[in-house]
Structure 1
Amino acid sequence: MASVDPAVRAAGARAAGARAVASEPRRKTVSNSFLHRLQRRHFLMFDVLPIAGTAAAVAFLWVQPLGVTEIALLFTFWLVTGLGISVGYHRLFTHRTFKSAPSAAAVLAVCGSMAGQGGVVSWVALHRRHHECSDREGDPHSPNLAGGGLRGRLRGLAHSHFLWMRRHEYPNVAHYAPDLIRNRPLMRVARRYHLWVVLGLLLPALVGGLAHRSWEGAVSGLLWGGLVRMFVLEHTIWAINSFLHMFGTRPYESRENSRNGGIFALLTFGESWHNNHHAFPDSPSFGLTWYRLDPGYWLIRILAAGGLARDIRLPSGQRRAAQRTGRREAAGLDPAT
């Protein structure tokens, strides 16, 4: 998911103004021309540019062939930033599925920011609104609200996968992420979002230049460890918002159309156990059982072993059994609750 972190200040100021007028209810979303300009700018810089960068990387192979350095940079920075999104942005900051030491939280926030998918406060606010309104009016990126038939499904997929980021209502961060706003150490990291994105591009360029001892190596490192890495990670994460709300298995009842795509579990750091996640959003494990691959949860267990994470609780077997598809209808309960 991509978002516009510079809008945090504007949205926060508006929310503060709203609080000053007791008779006015707090708005859940903000929409104005200033925010839309920021959204378009972010969309072009961090969503469209990686596509052009990937094309440039392929063309640059005529100058600097793909080698071990480029593959290592692509994989390493994909892994670091992907876990920053999955474990940091998603499981820790959005759903608070575990608690972490401040140092670990700061590192996860920096790694997630380097992915270029938006600042942590904006990302969290958008994702919490997604869960609140999932596949209903107000969901910023549902593929299921564009009408029926093949045309409606294709329009929905295009919107949810990519196009929604051009322009959308901005969730009021004072409403959706007050816990993060009160977290001063985290906000010091969040305010430097663009610095971390640039760092995520310059580091692979530096390593590539030193490894090859040439400007060609630096450019190749920037392209493969920076822009291609962003392209690959973005589209795997976005596919969860789009395809996994339309296709896949559905072992658990939930009020939206979330699906599991277990075949993509390693590629998505465990995020593709998406129906599991929507059924149990408070679970730090999306796979829920040991044999369902979930690299994000593996990292949480590693952090816990090092004393950097705690309060890791999985849903009980009884709770999971009660939420199984068909069990709620059999018990006379509404499956959408």
Structure 2
Amino acid sequence: MHKIARYLTGVGLGLIHVGALAAFVPALFRFSDLAVVAIVSYCTGALGVTLCYHRVLTHRSLRLRKPIEYCFALFGTLALQGDPIRWVAVHRKHHAHADHEGDPHNIELGFKWAHVDWLYRHNIAYPSEEEIARYAPDLSADPFYRFLAYAALPLQLALAVALFLAGGWAWVVWGVFVRLVFSYHSTWLVNSAAHMLGYRTYRTTDRSTNCWWVALLSFGEGWHNNHHAFPFSARHGLSWFEIDMTWWHVKLLAFLRLADRVRLPSEVMRRKLAYGKGL
């Protein structure tokens, strides 16, 4: 990433966090604000990033009907974590080099690096434009995703204007700034905490863990050891007690015939990688 881009990223993240502090102003809090942050977080985080960006676009663990896919991808763009092409390329490179040299957010470089520093500090593992095209050729060939690569800020501004017109500055603070801070850290904790804290069910070549509280914050992404063992799986919470809210969405979409080609690991595959005997 270019030095100027890193600087702007760091400044932008800082300003978003500062903006979220306005939520502590009594005049900018109403109970409707909680509903706004919950609804917008659900659309952009659960449907946009977790379901579409990660499980559909990055790993192709299921297929959505195109209009649904594009709608959810647009939601993901509003999470302001990067456009689909860049997000997918970074994550695919992470899996190719997980916790080793070449991983953009290598946990071996420390918790803070894996959590946020990799985004705005000098990072030799961050994919170049050529690598982005190589890691995400499927998305790079799609005109809609190329459009979203330039639409993130205009879309965010449009959302802010809509929230202001509907609920004033309070809805902007909660629906944009507070929501982005929550979305950022719930995603970043998957890269940091879920590579350090928790338990490991499956043998992998990285430090991924299953971390229950990260899973609750990130709609099921915290079952990260399961995910690294079977990246293609549409279900991350593979044990009965591992709550995976995104998997519930997958089952509902499949039932409604809005999703198909749902991929899961077989029992034989799970036993082969599991620690100890059986599950």
**2:144 matches 1:185:** yes
Aligned partners of 1:201 and 1:92: how far apart in 2? 27
SS of the residue aligned with 2:185? helix
2:16 corresponds to which of 39, 45, 50? 50
Superposed CA deviations along residues 172-220 of structure 1, whole A, max 9, x for unmatched, are 1121101111123333333322222223433333331xxxxxxxxx111
- Shift in Å, 1:289: 4.1
Superposed CA deviations along residues 81-138 of structure 1, whole A, max 9, x for unmatched, are 1111000111111111111111011111111110111111111111111111111111
> Which position in structure 1 is the counterpart of 2:257?
307
**2:111 matches 1:157:** yes
RMSD: 1.8
- Shift in Å, 1:301: 1.8
Aligned partners of 2:194 and 2:71: how far apart in 1? 29
Q: How does 1:324-335 map to 2 (within 5 A)?
A: 324-326=274-276
- Shift in Å, 1:327: 6.1
- Residue 300 and residue 43 in structure 1: after superposition, are their counterparts in 2 closer, same or farther (change >3 A)? farther
8 Å contact from structure 2 (residues 223, 236) kept in 1 = yes
8 Å contact from structure 2 (residues 83, 148) kept in 1 = no
- Residue 135 and residue 327 in structure 1: after superposition, are their counterparts in 2 closer, same or farther (change >3 A)? farther
- Larger Cα-atom Rg: 1
Amino acid corresponding to residue 39 of structure 1 in structure 2: R
> Which position in structure 1 is the counterpart of 2:102?
138
- Residue 196 and residue 302 in structure 1: after superposition, are their counterparts in 2 closer, same or farther (change >3 A)? farther
Amino acid corresponding to residue 104 of structure 2 in structure 1: P
8 Å contact from structure 1 (residues 114, 199) kept in 2 = no
Superposed CA deviations along residues 245-288 of structure 1, whole A, max 9, x for unmatched, are 11110011111000001233232100000100000000011112
> Which position in structure 1 is the counterpart of 2:8?
41
Report how many aligned residue pairs link the two structures: 272
> Which position in structure 2 is the counterpart of 1:281?
231
SS of the residue aligned with 1:159? helix
> Which position in structure 2 is the counterpart of 1:316?
266
| Gap runs ≥5 in structure 2 | none
| Gap runs ≥5 in structure 1 | 1-30, 146-155, 209-217, 329-337
Aligned partners of 1:319 and 1:274: how far apart in 2? 17
| Larger deviation, residues 300-309 vs 113-122 | 300-309
1:111 corresponds to which of 72, 75, 90? 75
Amino acid corresponding to residue 81 of structure 1 in structure 2: T
Identity %: 35
> Which position in structure 1 is the counterpart of 2:41?
78
- Residue 188 and residue 304 in structure 1: after superposition, are their counterparts in 2 closer, same or farther (change >3 A)? farther
TM-score (norm 1): 0.76
Aligned partners of 1:224 and 1:175: how far apart in 2? 37
- Residue 199 and residue 88 in structure 1: after superposition, are their counterparts in 2 closer, same or farther (change >3 A)? farther
8 Å contact from structure 1 (residues 260, 272) kept in 2 = yes
Amino acid corresponding to residue 117 of structure 1 in structure 2: Q
Aligned partners of 1:43 and 1:124: how far apart in 2? 21
1:272 corresponds to which of 194, 216, 222? 222
Amino acid corresponding to residue 175 of structure 1 in structure 2: R
SS of the residue aligned with 1:115? coil
1:207 corresponds to which of 166, 173, 176? 166
- Shift in Å, 1:291: 4.0
**2:257 matches 1:257:** no
Amino acid corresponding to residue 164 of structure 1 in structure 2: W
Q: How does 1:212-251 map to 2 (within 5 A)?
A: 218-251=168-201
SS of the residue aligned with 1:265? helix
- Shift in Å, 1:39: 2.9
**2:125 matches 1:175:** no
Aligned partners of 1:255 and 1:200: how far apart in 2? 41
- Residue 250 and residue 188 in structure 1: after superposition, are their counterparts in 2 closer, same or farther (change >3 A)? same
**2:256 matches 1:297:** no
SS of the residue aligned with 2:204? coil
Amino acid corresponding to residue 41 of structure 2 in structure 1: W
